[in-house]
Amino acid sequence: MKQAPRYTVSSSQPGILDLALSGCWKIGCPLPPMAEILARIDGSLQTVRISTTGLTDWDSLLIVFLRQMLLHCRQHGIEPDLAQVPEGARRLLQLADATPQQGLALATPRPGLRARIGLAAIRLFAAGRDLARFTGEIVLELLRIPVGRSYFPPRDFFYFLQATGAEALPIVSLIAVLVGVILGFVGAIQLGMFGAQIYVANLVALSMVLEMGAMMSGIIMAGRTGAAYAAQLGTMQVSEEIDALQTMGINPIGFLVLPRILALALMLPLLCVYADLLGIAGGVLIGVSMLDISLVEYLRQTREAITLAQVGQGIIKSMVYGVLVGFSGCYHGMRCGRSASAVGESTTAAVVMGIVLIVVSDAVLTILFNIFKIGAL
Amino acid sequence: MAYGDTVLQRNISFTVNRGDIFFIMGGSGCGKSTLLRHLIGLKRPAAGRVLYGTTDLWALDEQQRTALMRHAGVLYQGNALWSSMTLAENVALPLQHATDLGPSLIRELVMLKLAYVGLVGFEDYYPAALSGGMRKRAAIARAIALDPEFLFFDEPSAGLDPISGRHLDDLLLELRDTLGATLIIVSHDLASIYSIATNAVFLDARAGTMLAAGNPREMLETSDEPAVIDFLTRGTGKREVPCP
């Protein structure tokens, strides 16, 4: 059974404090309260004599104790007598003292409320400027493509087309069918109350074509491709691959960002059309199985419910979403810090920004389409 | 040299002569790699100039700076090979981008550069499939793809065993003699500093400036800065070359 660490303080001679350590001073044992010894040390003492006769075992716990006592002693101008302290512990204490305070003081005093508001405003402004700068760089590079001065390998571009398009089909299929089923189901209950079950076809078709097809595929892409872009570019930033491009005079915007954004802007409208179709198919499932509408009847109702302009509205929206999702993925990837956790943060930020931009731009676009009466209801 | 308000180094001034093997020495965290980033146009210095001949790198606009850096090859600390491309594509990319050469000639040049660094037969491997030393050599092949006048190396011998480190030194000497390039190397590898450096500068983190410049062997004999002597003798203080 190990003895708990303990100390006793006594004073045999005036001006000399005797500190007797005993027991096992190892991490895991409770550190005895420092208050007693610290209270006894003051300027009237000449020295503190430490005896370790009862000390059985020690590690960093003892060092912590002695160091705190030592620092306290020095504040009062006392140099304790460490002659009896184990040789190893004495050396460790010296080692801890040997490292001078170096490095730059990073902790700055917390600024006041006004200063913090000001700093936040400056940061916000800087972030806005950074976004504008990135957008500008992309536009400039885009303009250089027709002149043949921007360059990215076609193979990369086709790879991104495949990764963002064909490889996303299974997940888009699943989500689109289920969204169609859900819309159909909700519509069936509500419209059934008026005996207007056939209008489930209108509800499903209009919702899919105008909003849900584009938005669902956009959100899937934000989580799937936007995150992948941010992680790819972020990792390249960490491993200095983007620096390497820059020093070779290859513009990373043109080489890495443009093919990604273009691929997404091209593939998302296609995915949107696909999602529209599958969503309507999901509606058919409900209509035929739950509402006893025949397939032909359902499809004819659907055809009359939507116009080409409305389909076009969804497709245009999805192209905008594609650009925005690609933009946020690439933006956060390129602005990634140089650590593994920074890659994680930029991936998260890319997905969040992508989804927020999709919803905001959807609202703006819907209002614009209504003002200009394009495919309006 | 500064990050935000944190000043890393100040009052640094040195000259690299054509054909030098110039070492930027110093302990960890003293700003060696940051200095290199200033030199290769990746990070604008807080104050001062970087002169190539009489051209001030940071007074040029971006296009001119890019054009000037075409004459430079860089080996990054982590190699920075493009991980989504094979070795051959890695070496070929700078050639495709900066020149109008045809694909077959580019292929020839790529094979030549890979042969220089002893990586023939690995051209279709991806960087992740290679060992650390091979990646380093592949990164050198990419750095010399455009026959640069200036070659920058960030800790080339980090992570290499002593023998590979020695081979790397031989390769660097070979590159200087055959390409006529000027080598600027960030390193704290004493063995290669003593064996190939012709000129060097020593940065110190605590002083926040350069403490010595010149040939490291002469530095060892003549410098009175304790930090320089400590560094050059691995802290023993004996003024003799530790690894001849």
- Block means of pLDDT (10 residues each) for chain A, length 377 residues? 78 81 82 81 80 82 83 82 83 75 58 90 94 93 78 85 93 95 91 88 93 94 94 91 85 90 94 95 91 90 91 94 95 90 93 96 93 71
Please give the pLDDT value at position B240: 67
Chain-centre distance for alpha carbon A289? 43
Domain ranges of chain A: 6-97, 142-371
Q: Which residue has better confidence, B118 or A312?
A: A312
Q: Which residues in chain A are contacts of B6 at CB distance < 8 A?
A: 104
CATH number for the domain whose boundaries are A6-97:
3.30.750.24
Flag whether B30 is in a domain: yes
Residue type, A358: I
The whole-number average pLDDT for the span B214-224 is 79
Chain-centre distance for alpha carbon B70? 15
Q: Which of B20, B4, B53, B70 is nearest to B197 (CA)?
A: B20
Distances (CA, A) of A47 to A21, A150, B70: 16, 77, 70
Q: Which residues in chain A are contacts of B93 at CB distance < 8 A?
A: 248, 250
The ipTM value here is: 0.74
Does A247 contact B41 at a Cβ distance shorter than 8 Å? yes
Q: Which residues in chain A are contacts of B74 at CB distance < 8 A?
A: 243-244, 247
Residue tagged 């045999």 (tokens): A12
Nearest chain A Cα distance for residue B221, angstroms: 28
Chain A residues at the B interface, defined by Cβ less than 8 Å, are 102, 104, 151, 235-236, 239-241, 243-250
Distances (CA, A) of B215 to A253, B18, B208, B223: 41, 15, 21, 11
Flag whether B47 is in a domain: yes
Flag whether B227 is in a domain: no
Please give the pLDDT value at position A346: 94
Global pTM value? 0.74
Flag whether B238 is in a domain: no
Please give the pLDDT value at position A339: 85
Please give the pLDDT value at position B76: 86
Pairing mode, strands A16-25 and A47-58: parallel
Closest Cβ–Cβ partner in B40, B83, B98 for A241: B83
Please give the pLDDT value at position B244: 46
Residue type, A25: W
* Dist CA A293 CA A283 (whole Å): 11
Q: Contact A31/A65 with Cβ under 8 angstroms?
A: yes
Does A151 contact B97 at a Cβ distance shorter than 8 Å? yes
CATH at residue B190: 3.40.50.300
B76 touching A (Cβ < 8 Å) = yes
**For testing contact with chain B, the best of A104, A239, A242, A339 (most B CBs within 10 A):** A239
Does B74 contact A247 at a Cβ distance shorter than 8 Å? yes
CB within 8 Å of A184: residues ≥ 6 apart: A200, A203, A204, A282, A283, A285, A286, A287, A290
B34 has a pLDDT exceeding 90: no
Please give the pLDDT value at position A329: 95
Please give the pLDDT value at position A201: 92
Please give the pLDDT value at position B171: 84
Q: Which residues in chain B are contacts of A243 at CB distance < 8 A?
A: 37, 42, 74, 76, 80
Please give the pLDDT value at position A267: 95
Q: Which residues in chain A are contacts of B98 at CB distance < 8 A?
A: 248-249
Number of domains in chain B: 1
Please give the pLDDT value at position A269: 95
Domain that holds residue B178: 2-222
Does A241 contact B6 at a Cβ distance shorter than 8 Å? no
CB within 8 Å of B127: residues ≥ 6 apart: B79, B81, B82, B83, B87, B90, B135, B138
Q: Which two tokens stand for residue A279?
A: 């969503």
B77 touching A (Cβ < 8 Å) = yes
Q: Highest mean pLDDT: which of A7-16, A189-198, B153-162, B217-226?
A: A189-198
Pairing mode, strands B51-52 and B55-56: antiparallel
Please give the pLDDT value at position A349: 94
Flag whether B183 is in a domain: yes
Q: Which two tokens stand for residue A302?
A: 């659907």
B97 touching A (Cβ < 8 Å) = yes
Does A239 contact B80 at a Cβ distance shorter than 8 Å? yes
Please give the pLDDT value at position A2: 67
